[in-house]
Structures are given as structure tokens and as C-alpha cells.
């Protein structure tokens, strides 16, 4: 595998940190400019060979804006309101529109934003008067809900919501008012550039986490997102998500390495070289040419101290605790490896079974060449998907068993 080939890894999106450093575009009608090219070496090249794409944050925003604008163009509500509804439907535009046609009342349909049909276009209203938050007379600004607050209070409220609560769907500060603040307006009212960047990232993260087609790269500090082109494809729900090998690594394997580091492996007390006892004498001499330290195998203390009064054979409670801890660590590692090897076996089987998709496609075409219709051959594809889901389920049972 080359340095930038793709590898398959399992990730836990709930562990992803919500702090990034390169959201730098300003709002100008759109939330972010999404024209930037993906310059990750190897990722885009390798993704062309499979049924998924590697996106940067700007491209993710472009995907989000496009879906929200498509929905807004059909139902006529503001983009932020549409974003809230899409979040509920895991960004499945077709499913949302179908359900919305069955229940066109926004309050009953979504149950979160309070937007009247005649107020679909949210435009900030400005006036001069009394701010009920800071108890001062200042220039005021409000949504169409007509709850007026000064610029400073808006900034304080939004900053608290973003940095303190990590909220990306922010409503009016007025009690019990559920009117959603548009992204563009929120960013125009926030003063601190860092808070603006945090808000942008929260919006992106909410989109990625709720979408069935997107996954963050689990690599530390990586801001790339994998997008599968179709659920059920080779890189979809039936298999692990693919990420660039520069950042993605097997989390379970890394855990094994960390666990191994916690076990008690004897080392020389001076140069810390790992050692193994291959004789009966407790008088040890380090073989390192730069060390040659002599010590006791039992207590690891300097051998020169082991005269008539040496005490390493006496019971030492602290030393016994360390030995017990080391034994427990070794036992825990053996238990972990037992379940991990079985987990890994199923994971490898999932990757090896990707050829089943190609074989099924060929078989479906052969059946259609005879008297079978396209619909009648779908059971083969569904059977492979069920097989993969069952294997994934079995694979993750070992994670529960190991705890």
C-alpha cells in the first residue's frame, strides 16, 4: 500500500472534537464559499476508484447549502428552518418533501421552529428603543417575531450559545420563542472571529453527524469528510468507511498498542532497555555497550547494594501492589486480544467480501437477460446487504464482550 492509498477504518463520531482552525471564509449571501478544490494527496485520486468522495469543509458546506436551498425553493421557508427539518430527516430531501406534503403545517410537521406561513422570508427588523436584557435604550434588532434586543446582547447571547452550549440551531432569546436565527444573521451579530469559526464548525459538524451519507475522517486534526454516493454501495453501510491512510488508522490496533504499553515489561533501571531473564542467577548485567549496569532481577536495585543486609527478599507492600497491577494489566491485555482478534477477523471478512457485490451485479444482469424483471432480481442485492449487516453485528458484539 502506498503512503496515500485508502484504508478502511472504524470510527466513533461522538469522539470527534468540535475545534478546528481553518474556517476562514466570510458570509456573503452564502454560508461559506464552496469552490475550493480538495488538495489532499492520494485521497481524491483513490476515491475516484471507489464509490465515494473525499470532501474538505468548504465542499461539505456547499453540499449542505445546495440541499437546504433545494428544499427552501420548494416549500418556501428560510434556509435555516429547512436545515432544522432536514436534520430531523437525516438530510434525506426526498423523504422530507414527501412527509411535508402530507402535513404542510410547519409547527405540526417539525415541532421546533415557530414560523408563520406569511413570514417565510425572515428579514431582520431594526429600531431604536428599550432592550429588556441590558435595561438600556439602544439601537435594536429583531427577527420577524418582533422581539427586539440590542446588538451587544445579541452578540453575548449568540457567543454563549456557541462556546458555552455548542448549539448550531439557535432560537430567539425571548422566553418560549422558537423562531430560528438565520446563519447569515447570526454571523453578522457575532463579533469575535473565533466564535464565528466555532459556529461555522458546529453547523458543519451537525450536518455531517446527521447525514447518512457523510463521515468525518477519524484522523487527529483532519478536516476531511468521506461521502458515499449511494447507501448499500461498496463503501456504504455494508462496509467500513474509507479514509486516507495519512490520517486514518485502525483505532482498535492503536488501543492494543496503548494497552501493551501499560503492561509490566521489565526494563533495566538505568537505560530502560527491555530485558528477559534467561538464567537462574538474579545478578543481571545490561548488555548495552553504553550501559553495562549491574542490578538485581528481583528488585531492580543496584547490585552493589546487595551485601549481607540487602532486603529485596523481604515483603514490601508497595512492590507487591505494583506486581499485582502488572499482573492485572497482563490479564486485561490477554482478554482484550482474545476479543479483538475475533473482531478483526470479521472486519477482514467484510473487506474480502466486497467482490460479492460485483458477482451479484453480474448474476442480476444474467437473470434479467432471461425472463426476470429488474425488481425481481433485487433480492440478490438485498441478501448481500443483509449478510454484511449480520457480519457487522457479530463484529461489534465482541466490543461489548470485552468490556
How many helices and strands, by DSSP H and E, does the chain display?
A: 12, 10
C-alpha dihedral (261, 12, 206, 28), degrees to nearest 10: 60
The residue assigned the cell 420563542 is 177
Distance CA 369, CA 382 (A): 20
Distance CA 37, CA 281 (A): 66
Give Cα 238 distance to the centre of its chain.
18
Distance CA 15, CA 169 (A): 21
* CA-based nearest residue to 34, from 4, 73, 69: 69
Distance CA 270, CA 103 (A): 75
Distance CA 347, CA 370 (A): 36
Task: Specify whether the CB–CB gap between 201 and 23 falls below 8 A.
Answer: yes
**281 carries an active-site annotation:** yes
Q: Could you please report the per-residue DSSP string of 262-295? A: HS---B-TTT--B----SS-SEEE---TTT--EE
Round the CA-based radius of gyration of the chain to a whole number and report it: 30
* CA-based nearest residue to 30, from 72, 77, 62, 6: 62
Q: Of 82, 101, 217, 281, which residue is the catalytic one?
A: 281
Task: Specify whether the CB–CB gap between 239 and 9 falls below 8 A.
Answer: no
Angle at 72 between CA 226 and CA 179, to 5 degrees: 100
Q: How far is CA 77 from CA 35, 115, 118, 219, 257, in A?
A: 26, 8, 10, 37, 51
Stated as kind and residue range, the H or E segment containing 215 is strand 214-216
Residues taking part in catalysis: 281
Amino acid at each position: 500500500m502506498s503512503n496515500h492509498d485508502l484504508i478502511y477504518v472504524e470510527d466513533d463520531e461522538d469522539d470527534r472534537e468540535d475545534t478546528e482552525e481553518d474556517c476562514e471564509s466570510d458570509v456573503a449571501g452564502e454560508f461559506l464559499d464552496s469552490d475550493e478544490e480538495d488538495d489532499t494527496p492520494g485521497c481524491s485520486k483513490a476515491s475516484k476508484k471507489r464509490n465515494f468522495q473525499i470532501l474538505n469543509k468548504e465542499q461539505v458546506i456547499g453540499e449542505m447549502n445546495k440541499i437546504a436551498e433545494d428544499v427552501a425553493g420548494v416549500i418556501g421557508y428560510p434556509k435555516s428552518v429547512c436545515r432544522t427539518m432536514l436534520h430531523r430527516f437525516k438530510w434525506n430531501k426526498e423523504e422530507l418533501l414527501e412527509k411535508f406534503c402530507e402535513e404542510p403545517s410547519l409547527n405540526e410537521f417539525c415541532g421546533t421552529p415557530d414560523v408563520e406561513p406569511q413570514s417565510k422570508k425572515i428579514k431582520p427588523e431594526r429600531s431604536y428603543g428599550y432592550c429588556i436584557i441590558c435595561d438600556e435604550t439602544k439601537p435594536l434588532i429583531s427577527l420577524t417575531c418582533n422581539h427586539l434586543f440590542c446588538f451587544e446582547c445579541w452578540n453575548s447571547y449568540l457567543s454563549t450559545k456557541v462556546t458555552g452550549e455548542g448549539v448550531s440551531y439557535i432560537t430567539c432569546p425571548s422566553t418560549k420563542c422558537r423562531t430560528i436565527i438565520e446563519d447569515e444573521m447570526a454571523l453578522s451579530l457575532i463579533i469575535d472571529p473565533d466564535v464565528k469559526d466555532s459556529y461555522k464548525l458546529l453547523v458543519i459538524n451537525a450536518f455531517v453527524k446527521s447525514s447518512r451519507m457523510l463521515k468525518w475522517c477519524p484522523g487527529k486534526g483532519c478536516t476531511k469528510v468521506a461521502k458515499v454516493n449511494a447507501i448499500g454501495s461498496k463503501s456504504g453501510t455494508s462496509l467500513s468507511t474509507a479514509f486516507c491512510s495519512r490520517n486514518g488508522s485502525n483505532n482498535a490496533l492503536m488501543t492494543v498498542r496503548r494497552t501493551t504499553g501499560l503492561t509490566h515489561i521489565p526494563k533495566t533501571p538505568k537505560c530502560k532497555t527491555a530485558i528477559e531473564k534467561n538464567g537462574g542467577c538474579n545478578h543481571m548485567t545490561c548488555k548495552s555497550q553504553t550501559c553495562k549496569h549491574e542490578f538485581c532481577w528481583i528488585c531492580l536495585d543496584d547490585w552493589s547494594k546487595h551485601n549481607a543486609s540487602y532486603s529485596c527478599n523481604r515483603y514490601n507492600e508497595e512492590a507487591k501492589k505494583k506486581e499485582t497491577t502488572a499482573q492485572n494489566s497482563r490479564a486485561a491485555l490477554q482478554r482484550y486480544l482474545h476479543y479483538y482478534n475475533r473482531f478483526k477477523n470479521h472486519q477482514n471478512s467484510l473487506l474480502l467480501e466486497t467482490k460479492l457485490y460485483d458477482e451479484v451485479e453480474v448474476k442480476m444482469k444474467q437473470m434479467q437477460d432471461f425472463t426476470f424483471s429488474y425488481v425481481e432480481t433485487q433480492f440478490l442485492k438485498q441478501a448481500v446487504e443483509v449478510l454484511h449487516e449480520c457480519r457487522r453485528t457479530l463484529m461489534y458484539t465482541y466490543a461489548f464482550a470485552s468490556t
